[in-house]
Amino acid sequence: MDPLAQTEQVRPSDSPLPEALFQRITQLFSSVQTAPDVVDMLLEFSAGASVSDLLLEPGEEISRVRVRLDGVLRTCILVPNDMFHAMTARVKVLAQADSGNLRAATTEGKFRFNYNAKPVTVRVALAQVVGGELCAMRLHDSTSMERSLRDLGIQEPYVSQFEKIITAKNGLIMVCGPTGAGKTATLYSSLQLLNDGKTNLISIEDPIEYVIAGVNQMEVNAEHGLSFANGLRVSLRLNPDVMLVGEVRDQETAKISIESALTGHLVLTTLHANSAVSAISRLKDLEIENFFIAAALKCVVCQRLIRKTCEHCGAWRLPTTEEAAAYQQITGTALAQQFAGVGCEVCSGSGYHGRLALYEIAFINDAIRQLILSAKSEQEILAGLRQQGFRTVLEDGLAKVTAGQTTLIEVLTGCYSGA
């Protein structure tokens, strides 16, 4: 069965690719003959279209391939199951994934390929689901890690304050937000700022998403007893100046991170929390005493990732009635116009091209430390932050709407859906 023959059936109702991308993948598919050809074509297509994730999803008769483009998951093609099984087998070979242990919940691996003379790393995870084996591939382009904090979306005066805290090289800095919010990119950009050849930078990650020259990177390995907490203990014996901890998941990791921050090290880490203020409460939930939180914490960053308006087809346009009403309700002021795209070849008809982050940054000064020490509520800490110019993720997004970087609906979707 021709795998391309099934694609037309999916376009009307199943989050299809925009027309321009569909035509591109149709042209690529015209020459494929075997499962390895299909996999290679999908990887080439994904790298060229800046796809972040590629999913091979099994079905009863027909299986589906989906891609995540600018944060939106779209159906790419449908393939018959015999080809689908051969495709997942090909991915396992590329990733050197262990497929012999059928009791394992997941099978993982990674591989690299070149696209336009640039290396692309692919992290692979496979798991048994109803209907067969689900294969998820995440693509990492190393050039994406060359972005500065300003390029990511942190604006003045916050970016200068943030950089000043980082370069002081002591204390605890936490980055929070939902999965897929760009936390790792923020941490890596922070590391790059400190990567001057004079600083011992050590990271403990799960997994290592990018290899950074000049950074000593360790990968969590549960089978060999290397957890985040154990990795921190090891790092402290290696004369570090700065330590990056992939995630604070438990009390032990939180305690060692804070102890490290209090002994003259800079510790960068992530934490799952919905806002900068709630991250402080999350540390309390992990039974960290207020005194240690106040003493160690320098800054909390919370972020979301949204799509940017396409610069090629974007223009200043009047908002819809619904958008105008929503903006008025939130801000109390009118939204006269916004920079919105209509769709073109560059953005594949979506009106958006690329992504940027929305940020809120809580700088912990003496006044905020006193509020933490006094066990004040989140609302009282937020009020204290407001007095020093703090603004929320939503407010940062609204500022970027008026600056012509994105649209109101994109900001509201990103802030209220947890995307």
Is the pLDDT confidence value at 11 over 50? no
d(CA 89, CA 135): 10
d(CA 385, CA 369): 11
Instruction: Report how many helices (DSSP H) and strands (DSSP E) the chain contains, helices first.
Output: 15, 15
- Kindly give the residue spans of alpha helices, DSSP state H, lying in 273-363: 276-285, 290-296, 321-331
Nearest to 185 by CA among 316, 359, 351: 359
Q: The tokens 């800095």 sit on which residue?
A: 173
Instruction: Enumerate residues 6+ apart whose C-beta is below 8 A from 383.
Output: none
- Average of pLDDT values for 176-189? 91
**For 147-417, CATH number?**
3.40.50.300
Q: How confident is the model at residue 319, as a pLDDT?
A: 93
Give the residue extent of every domain in the chain: 3-143, 147-417
Q: How sure is the predictor about 224, in pLDDT bands with cuts at 50, 70 and 90?
A: confident
The better pLDDT of the pair 118, 270 is held by 270
d(CA 402, CA 314): 14
The better pLDDT of the pair 195, 141 is held by 195
Q: The tokens 């790059």 sit on which residue?
A: 192
Predicted TM-score of the model (pTM): 0.85
Is the pLDDT confidence value at 3 over 50? no
Instruction: Enumerate residues 6+ apart whose C-beta is below 8 A from 381.
Output: 277, 280, 368, 371, 372
Q: How sure is the predictor about 256, in pLDDT bands with cuts at 50, 70 and 90?
A: very high
Which residues face 54 on adjacent strands?
67, 137
pLDDT per position as a tens digit, 279-335: 999 999 999 999 999 999 999 999 999 999 999 999 999 999 999 999 999 999 999
pLDDT per position as a tens digit, 28-52: 776 667 888 889 989 998 998 889 9
- Average of pLDDT values for 357-374? 96
The beta strands (E) that lie in 130-200 are given as 132-141, 171-176
d(CA 34, CA 26): 16
Q: Is the separation of the CB atoms in 70 and 141 below 8 Å?
A: no
Number of Cβ within 10 Å of residue 112's Cβ equals 11
Q: Is the separation of the CB atoms in 97 and 88 below 8 Å?
A: no
CB burial of 334-359 (b: ≥16 within 10 Å; e: otherwise) equals: ebeebbbbebbeebbbbbbbebbbbb
pLDDT per position as a tens digit, 87-144: 999 999 999 887 665 555 678 888 999 998 888 999 999 998 888 899 999 998 766 6
**For 3-143, CATH number?**
3.30.450.90
Q: How confident is the model at residue 12, as a pLDDT?
A: 36
Q: The tokens 């998951």 sit on which residue?
A: 73
